[in-house]
């Protein structure tokens, strides 16, 4: 029996764009890279856009994205600092990408380190990137498309023992309608090194565009990465993104995903604990309104013994918005003494909002400590009354309690000015929430 | 100040208050006592406007206004304070924020300017001292991880900040050791003033050793079965509630024949 791939119009469209663009993409001419792009494109052609018939996409429908064709071209934008100012909220170092293109004049880079744009890194030292780009996972069609078409991204390569205390802020700004940006970020932390990286997607209000990102992270022994993922996309934007992490022994990966905007968002986060004593924590917060849709699919693979994973996602849904949480923890046969906890808590503020949550444990080892759970609820009316009995209006009481529900996720972000910015962004999503700014 | 007349109220479809009448004038302290299930807490919550407490008949007039027409927050802004029997824990909201939001909501309602940060802090510090609380507690989440006694002190701290005209304290003495009870009583006594009134809801006479009431009322089966002075509380302490319930039942059957 043979399987005949039926190409959709969209698959053909992007394949044709790839043919047009390929010679202009960064690193063209490097045989291994050209081959990696070709492979990714073929995977995309074969897999196509995911449909709701795929189990992993059951609740997240890309039909509208597929129908609307986005131009995978980098549109140059003037290096206007005013564009960046409202989003320059982390202090520290800053790498700005406008419509997918690195903007050196708007960025603040540390001297004498291997932190910069992937395009430049491919010119300077392509060999160092080869393994990571070749192994970028092609989990589904759009992830494969992102790898095939990547036009730039960040490259962070820290030497062993480097302690980076200032945060490294990767800011992806979209200012052009109907574009697809395909960043590929490669982050490699050498033995014992530490860094805080913020991967931040933002767009000009009401602009329809598609961010299709891939981030590849590798932590060598005893390295620690704080990785903060912020989605503040425009109200008409699609975001699809994959993050894959490989951890060596004793390394720590702390991930914080904060979704506060975008018509449609889907993040796949895959972590492989491939050596002993590796630890990861995946935290997340999504606050959706209107008709927004957000989908977090996470998978933690415990491959060897003595690994620890923690996962804690919270969601607040209002309007007719919808969220999907699918958190999978797989404890492989050799992963004895695994310690895994997972929890997803949701607050539904309206009747039309919907959450589909599926914490999932697959355990193939017998000596493990694992727990998982999910809750879906409304605000506690006794709490609302307590605040009203102190003179707060009902709406203010509800906002205070909603904010309080989210607070512990944001409180864990290790970048103080970013916490402040996100708290404000969070309050702005609540009705009359801006009146509560003294909360923070 | 507060006129309750023939009040009937239901909770979860069950009749709890059945024709309660009570008159509280400014400057007075009233103690509402009674056995469990007699309707004490229901009365406190009905006065504060808690949703789910359905008034089916009767009226409450507060400072000449129809209290039952006001939302809970409007009642609070008009000077009614409910001290909760079970103060709730609110993770993520600091005490100082709640105090500021509450004080400013009341001030705004009265047409006064919001307190600036310095004046506010000075005021809070003064009240914290009265309640013998640790200032650090201001920056902790509301009631989170507080002991029973700390929660009740915190209620009285809020009351001192809000300076209500009518304070209704629901079982504020429950779960307090003797030292905390004295501190709480001291806080309440400081609020006593000719232009305010206090209603203490309590199961035990103990609190009344420290806050001397002008009137004591005993509730049985949703109405006031007996009223008297503070000596009534002492009588209850020695005789219990049984005789009042028996008396109330006898009166009721007498009234029927």
Inter-chain touch A401–B91, beta carbons under 8 Å: no
Q: Could you tell me how far CA A88 lies from the centroid of its own chain?
A: 18
Q: Is A305 part of any domain?
A: no
Q: What is the dihedral of CA B115, B121, B126, B132, to 10 degrees?
A: 130
| Range of the structural domain that residue A117 is part of | 9-275
A334 touches A365 (CB < 8 A) = yes
For residue A379, the distance in angstroms to the closest alpha carbon of chain B comes to 11
User: Between residues 45 and 84 of chain B, which touch chain A (CB distance below 8 Å)?
Assistant: 48-52, 71-73, 75-77, 81-82, 84
pLDDT of residue A3: 46
Nearest by CB to residue A404, choosing from B48, B77, B90, is B90
pLDDT tens digit string along A186-239? 999 999 999 999 999 999 888 999 999 999 999 999 999 999 999 999 999 999
Q: Is A176 part of any domain?
A: yes
Q: Are residues A187 and A57 in the same domain?
A: yes
Nearest by CB to residue B88, choosing from A382, A405, A406, is A382
**Domain boundaries, given as residue ranges, for chain B:** 2-256
- Report H helices in A206-295: none
d(CA A378, CA B245): 41
Q: Is A311 part of any domain?
A: no
CB atoms within 10 A of CB B103: 21
| Lookup: tokens for B13 | 């479809």
A212, A246, A275: which is the final residue of a domain?
A275
For residue B177, the distance in angstroms to the closest alpha carbon of chain A comes to 24
Q: Are residues A250 and A395 in the same domain?
A: no
For residue A395, give the chain B residue with the closest CA. B73
Beta bridge pairs of residue A285: A258, A314
CB atoms within 10 A of CB B228: 14
Q: Is A196 part of any domain?
A: yes
| Lookup: tokens for A11 | 């698959």
> Using a CB-CB distance cutoff of 8 angstroms, which residues of chain B are in contact with residue A386?
84, 87-88, 90
Q: Is A210 part of any domain?
A: yes
Please count the structural domains in chain A. 2
A244, A259, A275: which is the final residue of a domain?
A275
> Lowest-confidence range among A26-30, A247-251, B53-57, B171-175?
B171-175
State the pairing for strand pair B90-94/B80-83. unpaired
Q: Are residues A404 and A267 in the same domain?
A: no
pLDDT tens digit string along B161-210? 999 999 999 999 888 889 999 999 999 999 999 999 999 999 888 899 99
CA angle A148, A154, A155 (to 5 degrees): 95
Q: Which CATH superfamily is domain B2-256 in?
A: P-loop containing nucleotide triphosphate hydrolases (3.40.50.300)
Q: Is A184 part of any domain?
A: yes
Q: Are residues A391 and A269 in the same domain?
A: no
Q: Are residues A32 and A177 in the same domain?
A: yes
Is B157 near chain A, with CB under 8 Å? Answer: no
pLDDT tens digit string along B111-153? 999 888 899 999 999 999 999 999 999 999 999 999 999 999 9
Q: Is A247 part of any domain?
A: yes
Chains A & B: contacts with CB separation below 8 Å: 79
> Using a CB-CB distance cutoff of 8 angstroms, which residues of chain B are in contact with residue A385?
50-51, 72
Q: Are residues A265 and A395 in the same domain?
A: no
Inter-chain touch A392–B105, beta carbons under 8 Å: yes
Q: Is A323 part of any domain?
A: no
What mean pLDDT is predicted for residues A317-336? Answer: 96
Give the three-state DSSP class for A207: coil
A275, A303, A325: which is the final residue of a domain?
A275
Inter-chain touch B92–A407, beta carbons under 8 Å: yes
State the pairing for strand pair A93-98/A101-108. antiparallel
Predicted confidence (pLDDT) at residue A286 exceeds the cutoff of 90? yes
Q: Could you tell me how far CA A46 lies from the centroid of its own chain?
A: 25
More confident residue, A422 or B242: A422
Inter-chain touch A390–B92, beta carbons under 8 Å: no
Predicted confidence (pLDDT) at residue B4 exceeds the cutoff of 70? yes
Question: What sign has the CA pseudo-torsion B141, B144, B146, B148?
Answer: positive
d(CA A301, CA A327): 11
What mean pLDDT is predicted for residues A160-179? Answer: 95
Q: What is the mean pLDDT of chain A?
A: 93
Inter-chain touch B98–A387, beta carbons under 8 Å: yes
> Using a CB-CB distance cutoff of 8 angstroms, which residues of chain B are in contact with residue A394?
71, 73
Is B100 near chain A, with CB under 8 Å? Answer: yes
Is B105 near chain A, with CB under 8 Å? Answer: yes
pLDDT of residue B254: 61
Beta bridge pairs of residue A98: A101, A173
For residue B256, the distance in angstroms to the closest alpha carbon of chain A comes to 40
State the pairing for strand pair B197-201/B166-170. parallel
Q: Mutating which of A314, A316, A379, A386 best tests the B interface, going by the most B Cβ atoms within 10 A?
A: A386
B248 touches B221 (CB < 8 A) = yes
CB neighbour class for A377 (10 Å; exposed up to 12, middle 13-18, buried from 19): exposed
φ, ψ of residue B244 in degrees (nearest 5)? -70, -40
């Amino acid at each position: 029996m043979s399987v005949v791939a039926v190409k959709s119009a969209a698959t053909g469209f992007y394949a044709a764009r790839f043919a047009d663009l390929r010679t202009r993409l960064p690193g063209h001419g490097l045989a291994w890279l050209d081959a990696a792009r070709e492979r990714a494109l073929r995977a995309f052609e074969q897999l196509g856009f995911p449909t709701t018939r795929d189990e992993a996409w059951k609740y997240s429908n890309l039909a509208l994205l597929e129908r609307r064709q986005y131009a995978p071209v980098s549109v140059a934008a003037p290096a206007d600092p005013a564009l960046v100012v409202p989003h320059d909220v982390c202090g520290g170092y800053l790498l700005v990408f406008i419509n997918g293109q690195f903007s050196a004049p708007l960025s603040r880079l540390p001297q004498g380190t291997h932190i910069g744009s992937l395009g430049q890194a491919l010119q300077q030292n392509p060999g160092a990137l080869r393994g990571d780009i070749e192994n970028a996972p092609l989990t589904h069609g759009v992830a494969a498309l992102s790898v095939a078409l990547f036009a730039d991204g960040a490259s962070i390569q820290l030497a062993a023992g480097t302690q980076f205390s200032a945060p490294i802020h990767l800011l992806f700004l979209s200012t052009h309608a109907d574009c697809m940006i395909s960043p590929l970020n490669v982050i490699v932390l050498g033995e014992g090194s530490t860094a805080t990286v913020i991967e931040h997607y933002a767009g000009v209000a009401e602009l329809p565009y598609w961010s299709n990102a891939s981030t590849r992270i590798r932590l060598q022994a005893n390295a620690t990465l704080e990785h903060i993922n912020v989605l503040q996309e425009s109200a008409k934007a699609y975001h699809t993104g994959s993050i894959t992490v490989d951890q060596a022994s004793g390394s720590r990966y702390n991930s914080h995903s904060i979704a506060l905007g975008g018509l449609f968002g889907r993040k796949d986060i895959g972590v492989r604990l491939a050596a002993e004593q590796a630890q990861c924590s995946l935290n997340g917060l999504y606050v959706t309104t209107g008709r927004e849709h957000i989908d977090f699919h996470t998978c933690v693979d415990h491959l060897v013994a003595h690994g620890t994973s923690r996962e804690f996602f919270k969601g607040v849904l209002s309007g007719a918005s919808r969220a999907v949480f699918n958190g999978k923890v797989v404890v492989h046969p050799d992963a004895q003494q695994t310690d895994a906890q997972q929890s997803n808590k949701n607050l539904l503020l309206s009747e039309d909002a919907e959450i589909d949550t599926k914490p999932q444990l697959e355990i193939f080892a017998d000596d493990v400590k694992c727990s998982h759970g999910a809750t879906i609820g409304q605000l506690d009316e006794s709490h609302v009354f307590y605040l009203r009995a102190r003179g707060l209006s009902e709406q203010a009481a509800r906002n205070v309690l909603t904010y309080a529900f989210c607070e512990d996720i944001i409180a864990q972000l290790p970048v103080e000015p970013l916490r402040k910015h996100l708290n404000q962004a969070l309050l702005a999503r609540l009705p009359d929430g801006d009146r509560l700014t003294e909360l923070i | 100040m507060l006129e309750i007349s023939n009040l009937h109220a239901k909770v979860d479809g069950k009749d709890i208050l059945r024709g309660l009448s009570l008159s509280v004038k400014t400057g007075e302290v009233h103690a509402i006592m009674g056995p469990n299930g007699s309707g004490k807490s229901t009365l406190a919550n009905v006065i504060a406007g808690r949703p789910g407490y359905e008034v089916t008949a009767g009226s409450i007039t507060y400072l000449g206004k129809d209290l039952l027409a006001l939302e809970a927050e409007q009642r609070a802004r008009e000077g009614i304070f409910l001290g909760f029997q079970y103060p709730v824990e609110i993770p993520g909201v600091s005490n100082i924020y709640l105090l500021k939001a509450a004080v400013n909501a009341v001030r705004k309602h009265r047409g006064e300017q919001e307190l600036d940060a310095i004046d506010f802090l000075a005021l809070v510090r003064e009240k914290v001292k009265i309640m013998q609380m640790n200032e650090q507690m201001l920056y902790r989440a509301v009631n989170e991880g507080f002991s029973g006694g700390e929660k009740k002190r915190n209620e009285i701290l809020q009351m001192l900040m809000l300076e209500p005209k009518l304070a209704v304290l629901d079982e504020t003495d429950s779960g307090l050791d003797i030292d905390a009870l004295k501190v709480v009583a001291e806080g309440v006594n400081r609020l006593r003033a000719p232009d305010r009134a206090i209603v203490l809801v309590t199961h035990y006479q103990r609190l009344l050793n420290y806050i001397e009431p002008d009137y004591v009322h005993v509730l049985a089966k949703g109405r006031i079965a007996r009223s008297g002075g503070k000596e009534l509380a002492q009588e209850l302490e020695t005789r219990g509630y049984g005789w009042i319930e028996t008396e109330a039942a006898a009166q009721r059957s007498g009234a029927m024949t």
